[in-house]
Structure 1
Amino acid sequence: MTTTAPRTRLISVDDLVPGLSVLLQDETLYASGSHKEPAARSVAAAARADGHERVFVGSCGSYGRAMATACAQEGLRCTVVLPEGWGDGGAFAEATGADIRFAPGGYEDAVEESHRLAAEAGAADGNVDGPYQDAVLDGHGRVVQALHRELGPIPATMWLPVGNGTTVVAFHRRLRALGWSVPLHAVGSPGNNPIVTSWPGPYEPLPTGAVVTTEHNEPLVNWHALHGPAAMIAIDASGGVVHAATDDELVAAQKLLTGYGVDASPSGAAGLAGLLNHALSTPIDGPQIVVLTGRSGLD
């Protein structure tokens, strides 16, 4: 098995928001370009331990790339099911040796098809809502552990993108285990994610044809967020809030980050877009941790 050391960095900046300490947690440097790689590695290791030789996942891009990368490192076969016409057509995942399939419809349809194919093949179902869900959440939570180790239990606020809500749930679970009280502020695409449109509750999925994907917002878009209800509970329990960021705001945040040597995608910069917009209307104090989740050109 070939392993690659995780590549993340914490950048302290004091000029993004006047008078505010901002810490940029850059998770874009993994081989797959996605913060989802530790979760994918956790799933691949668990699948290998269970005797599986193949993993199936549904994805709109980033989790598929992460899983393809993780499976290649574990010596596992990987099948990534993508929605027809979405993302990069699977070029990155295919380059790692993954098998690419396509499903009509959107992300949720790709996940359902991958569930079916995994069961049919007797293979590991590596989806975020599948039997390896605990491994997914454990992997996503490792960045929180790393931040706590480096910063200690400082009274910070955390900003991160939201799509399925999986990362939010994982972060909150790890924060509670550490006894670290950190409000989670989740930032999604306006009108294109039920966590955003339902906040502060109750959770209601969107009509299947209501969401609009663009090259900038795609990882933030769901008509049904697979961990949506749990994510809303986690955000509320942490004392956080759900925010929306337009494509223009995502791109503006992305451009700002280039000045700090960060090559984030617009959706990967959603946490910063939310913080910048919120700071225009609301007094904020204390350290702000912004988690940057996807690399430009890959997310």
Structure 2
Amino acid sequence: MTTMYVCPADGTRAPVESLAWCCPVCRGPWDLDFEASPVPLKSLSSRVNSLWRYEEALPLSAPVTTLGEGRTPLVPLTSSVSAKLDFLMPTLSFKDRGAVMLAELARRLGPERVIADSSGNAGTAIAAYCARAGLPCTVYVPESASPKKTEQIRAHGARLERVPGDREATARAARAAAGEPGTFYASHVHNPYFLHGTKTYVYELWEDLGGRLPETIVVPVGNGTLLLGAALAIAELSAHGLIDGRPALIAVQAEAVSPLATAFRAGAEELRAPAESAPTLAEGIAIPNPPRARQILRAVRASGGTFRTVTEDQLRAAQLDLASRGLFVESTAVACWAAVRDEGDGTSGADETDRAGLSVVVPLCGAGAKTGLAPAAGAGGQSAQ
């Protein structure tokens, strides 16, 4: 069967080769009409040590652009909480999982140019993998983007476009350029190939835990690419009879910018209004109006999960706490640990996660070397992601 884009809102379809970056009817993001095959757990030990070992579940195979991404360690933080060290990727963030898929797809389609927009990590990943694929790349970033991340983007040979204003303004500028002929928009939000890359996060958990999943998977949510990838993998593993039960998805947002948490608590199926932009240490998830909001809310509810929000003080404390354990990650990447660390070995006494024998996994998504240590309260400024 031919793999095609399909709009989850109205069913519109388009060939992948068309370079159409969104549904022409509703302008919403695409899903992918692709059916994964079962991954044989017992044969994995002899395969390539990267995310491409799950070839039956991926819409692309035999990649040229790979940098060995994936297969990151899973280490315990407490007796019931483990962390997956996704900051140990080639470009030091989990975004490599999806970026390699987009760059490989672009390489096969042969566009004149590739563009992307990002608060930093997705842009560095797209720039790196486009360099690997030999593709010209332009990355749009907010003017407040971390200097260390913009330096990395330039080092990979990408053209950098700084956009005045916030993350939403950056996305609008990139979308305007995406309509130019011969342009492949490597959108980690709109292009579903990115989600089929991030779903390997859960396939790795499944393999590392011997064919099972933890009871609870906690993920940071801005545009929701890791959460939706996780939901996709869980659905595939369940459909193939490879797991006995489905874990709850706990979505974490910064209290300062938490439109999805607000909608979830109100029982809404979509955002009633975008959130106000506000400074936060977790800038990588400070998305006022995520295009896949409806899908994110539906996925969390279907899993029996919930949303949590964390304060700036919690983010600072969590970053220092992880550093004291030997793990220096950026301030957005500590959001999940901030959400569970003070609750008796990571368990909760207040909501759906209050269950005996709880096992929880949190991702550490980006390296602290990308942004440095979050400033102390009252020190002035915010750490950019």
TM-score w.r.t. the length of structure 2 is 0.71
Which amino acid in structure 2 is aligned with residue 287 of structure 1? S
Q: How does 1:269-288 map onto structure 2 within 5 Å?
A: 269-277=334-342, 279=347, 281-282=349-350, 283-284=354-355, 285-288=357-360
Matched, 1:10 2:74: yes
Residue of structure 2 equivalent to 1:297: 369
Q: How does 1:212-251 map onto structure 2 within 5 Å?
A: 212-214=278-280, 216-251=281-316
Matched, 1:139 2:206: no
Which amino acid in structure 1 is aligned with residue 73 of structure 2? R
CA RMSD of aligned residues (A): 2.0
Which amino acid in structure 2 is aligned with residue 294 of structure 1? G
8 Å CA contact 2:252–2:309 kept in 1: the answer is: yes
What percent of counterpart residues are identical? 28
Partner Cα distance (2:274, 2:304) in 1: 29
Say which is worse superposed, 239-248 or 282-291, in terms of deviation.
Answer: 282-291
Q: Which of 10, 13, 24 pairs up with 2:83?
A: 24
Partner Cα distance (2:99, 2:159) in 1: 16
Q: Which of 187, 203, 206 pairs up with 1:127?
A: 187
Say which is worse superposed, 25-34 or 152-161, in terms of deviation.
Answer: 152-161
Partner Cα distance (2:274, 2:362) in 1: 31
Q: Which of 40, 44, 60 pairs up with 2:99?
A: 40
Partner Cα distance (1:154, 1:128) in 2: 25
1:206, distance to aligned residue in structure 2 (A): 4.5
Partner Cα distance (2:213, 2:91) in 1: 30
8 Å CA contact 2:214–2:360 kept in 1: the answer is: no
More helix by share: 1
Change (3 A) 1:99 1:121: farther
Aligned length: 290
SS state at 1:274 partner: helix
Which amino acid in structure 2 is aligned with residue 35 of structure 1? F
Residue of structure 1 equivalent to 2:33: none
1:157, distance to aligned residue in structure 2 (A): 0.6
SS state at 1:158 partner: strand
1:158, distance to aligned residue in structure 2 (A): 0.7
Which amino acid in structure 2 is aligned with residue 212 of structure 1? A
**Structure 1 runs (4+) greater than 3 angstroms displaced:** 205-208, 277-285
Partner Cα distance (2:65, 2:202) in 1: 25
Q: How does 1:76-155 map onto structure 2 within 5 Å?
A: 76-88=135-147, 90-130=150-190, 133-151=191-209, 152-155=211-214
Deviations 1:173-228 (A, max 9, x none): 111101141111111111413112212331325456x22123x2211201101222
Select the structure of larger CA radius of gyration. Answer: 2
Matched, 1:263 2:321: no
8 Å CA contact 1:159–1:291 kept in 2: the answer is: yes
SS state at 1:90 partner: helix
Partner Cα distance (1:2, 1:249) in 2: 38
TM-score w.r.t. the length of structure 1 is 0.90
Q: Which of 118, 122, 132 pairs up with 1:59?
A: 118
8 Å CA contact 2:82–2:361 kept in 1: the answer is: yes
8 Å CA contact 1:44–1:74 kept in 2: the answer is: yes
1:51, distance to aligned residue in structure 2 (A): 1.5
8 Å CA contact 1:169–1:227 kept in 2: the answer is: no
Partner Cα distance (1:272, 1:96) in 2: 31
Residue of structure 2 equivalent to 1:17: none
SS state at 1:253 partner: helix
Unpaired segments ≥5 residues, structure 1: 15-19
1:246, distance to aligned residue in structure 2 (A): 0.9
Change (3 A) 1:114 1:154: closer
Partner Cα distance (2:173, 2:157) in 1: 20
8 Å CA contact 2:65–2:129 kept in 1: the answer is: no
Change (3 A) 1:124 1:13: same
Residue of structure 2 equivalent to 1:162: 221
Partner Cα distance (2:277, 2:166) in 1: 10
Change (3 A) 1:206 1:293: farther
Change (3 A) 1:128 1:3: closer
Partner Cα distance (1:205, 1:189) in 2: 18
Which amino acid in structure 2 is aligned with residue 5 of structure 1? G
